[in-house]
Amino acid sequence: MSSLFELPDETVVLEHQIAGHRHEHGKLYTGMLKHIDGYVMKPVQNNHRGKTEIEFYEQVFQSSHPVVSKLKQIVPHFFGLHQFVTDTATHYFIKLEDVAAGMAKPCIADIKIGRQTWDPYSSPEKQHAENMKYRGTKDPLGFCIPGMCIHDLASDKVLKLDKHYGRSLNCDSVKDAFLLYFNSTQVIERRLLAEVLNQLNAVRLWFEEQRHYLFYATSLLLVYDADLLKKGSNILNVRIRMIDFAHVFPAHDSQDSNYLEGLYKLIEIISSIQ
């Protein structure tokens, strides 16, 4: 196999990646990989954004600060870096927890939080480009949905909805998107919604307390196992994690109102489904 298409040993392309850069034909390592040992591997961007994300994970998992250390419960577990050397370059990957591990029918939603998704050092062109995206939900609600993967129990099919679907949503249709994601178009799965809200409120409480970081273009990854819903299990496997930390900045003792406003709206909309 040509080195142009080579993957690191014992890895495959992560099947359930739903947003962000992907490993595509003719491109090197632009998407998430899955290692045989169970963790996922995120390519490190070869610029300051990659450095920022590595430093953020290292700070969180090395910190003994009572507030910062709480992040360990709401971000994917960090296993360090993986180095992959080819004939032409050295590539680095961040090794992270696979949030969907062990789920038979994982339903995944990538929800980008914040009305402002560009960081303070972005060019005017970048700011304008970001402001034009997802205007139907990002402007009025403070969040958007770049992608979802749903094991639809009614049709027994897997639905993959990308950024084009997310950009079509508005304040009215976004509720329908969540009903679809939660397999609640016919019967409201109240226990599932209650557990999702419980975990979202844990994120909210952390943000209301913390004054360390400002997060831009960061997503919440919502994952649950639809197989347990189908079987009527008393156990619901729900995991919510913050992801994507290439644009994290010091807060200088200020509250991250941009993130909180979007999170409040997200909680409000999901609460209204019940």
Lowest mean per-residue pLDDT among 5-14, 79-88, 150-159, 230-239: 5-14
The pTM (predicted TM-score) of the whole model is 0.90
Q: What is the mean pLDDT of residues 16-26?
A: 54
> Where do runs of H (alpha helix) occur along the chain?
48-62, 124-131, 135-141, 163-168, 173-181, 190-209, 226-230, 257-273
In this structure, CATH architecture of domain 106-273? 2-Layer Sandwich (3.30)
pLDDT computed for residue 2 by the predictor: 38
47-85 residue pLDDT tens: 899 999 999 999 999 999 999 999 999 999 999 998 887
Residue 183 and residue 189 in contact, taking contact as beta carbons nearer than 8 Å: yes
Q: Where are the domains of the chain?
A: 3-96, 106-273
